[in-house]
Amino acid sequence: MMCMWRTHWRQLYVIGSVQHIMLDYVKGKLKHKQRNRIVVEVFNASLGINVRVPDNWVAELNVGDTVCVYLYMMVRESGIDLYGFRDMRQREVFEDIISVPNVGPETAIRILAELSVDEFTHIVGSGNERMLASIRGVGPKKAERIIFHLRDKYKLPERRDDWDTAVEVLTNLGFERQKVWKVLQEINWKDKDLEAIIKEALAKL
């Protein structure tokens, strides 16, 4: 079987079975950027990889920067598409979104261009269909479907005030907000006071 990866300058042909190709990330120099695509020139490989990324990230990057892009490879009959993300957490959320029936990668990438990971999980966890539906390409039906399938995963804790306090304390200590949210979501809050929650989070960060 012959597979084809399109790059900005050429086409790279790969012989073999697509299911055995595994790309996790690419690191190199940003050679070219468009509104929602970048070309990463892999160091010492004479290879440029064209990746679809969230629009808002493209705006932050400059040609010549060294970038590390976490990849998701979408295999279709028409070819292979590479989607890129600034970190593993953003990629995980992308995978969650496309796991929802009839929600494709373009919708997922548009959502992540408009919302941070924290904002998205908060919107879904709180069941805010109106906010999610306002994003271009989503609409009421998709918003309802996404929240129905993902709300339990991103469910916000009942002790909202304690949650906000924990986030504030941990971010003030210098931890990244996205990592803080992820760790707090993993903790079992039942029968634990705020001090115990913060101590457990610190042990995981």
Give the pLDDT confidence of 77-119 residue by residue, as tens digits.
Answer: 777 889 999 999 999 999 999 999 999 999 999 999 999 888 8
* C-alpha–C-alpha distance, residues 64 and 52, integer Å: 18
Q: In this structure, how many other beta carbons lie within 10 angstroms of the beta carbon of residue 37?
A: 16
Does residue 11 register a pLDDT over 50? no
**52 and 82 in contact (C-beta within 8 Å)?**
yes
pLDDT at residue number 157: 66
**Greater model confidence, 5 or 27:** 27
CATH placement of domain 160-204: 1.10.8
The model's confidence at residue 198, banded by pLDDT at 50, 70 and 90, is very high
Sorted by where each begins, the domain ranges of the chain are: 2-85, 88-150, 160-204
CATH class of 88-150: mainly alpha
What CATH homologous superfamily does 2-85 map to? Nucleic acid-binding proteins (2.40.50.140)
Mean pLDDT over 168-190 rounds to: 85
pLDDT digits (tens, 9 = 90+) for 117-166: 888 988 898 888 998 999 988 999 999 999 999 998 887 766 777 887 88
Give the per-residue pLDDT at 139: 93
- Please give the helix or strand (H or E) that residue 80 lies within, else none: strand 79-85
pLDDT in tens, 54-74: 998 998 999 999 999 999 998
Nearest Cα to Cα of residue 74 among 95, 57, 55: 95
Whether 43 shows a pLDDT value over 70: the answer reads yes
For the cut 50, the answer to whether the pLDDT of residue 189 exceeds it is yes
Asked if residues 178 and 89 have their Cβ atoms less than 8 Å apart, the reply is yes
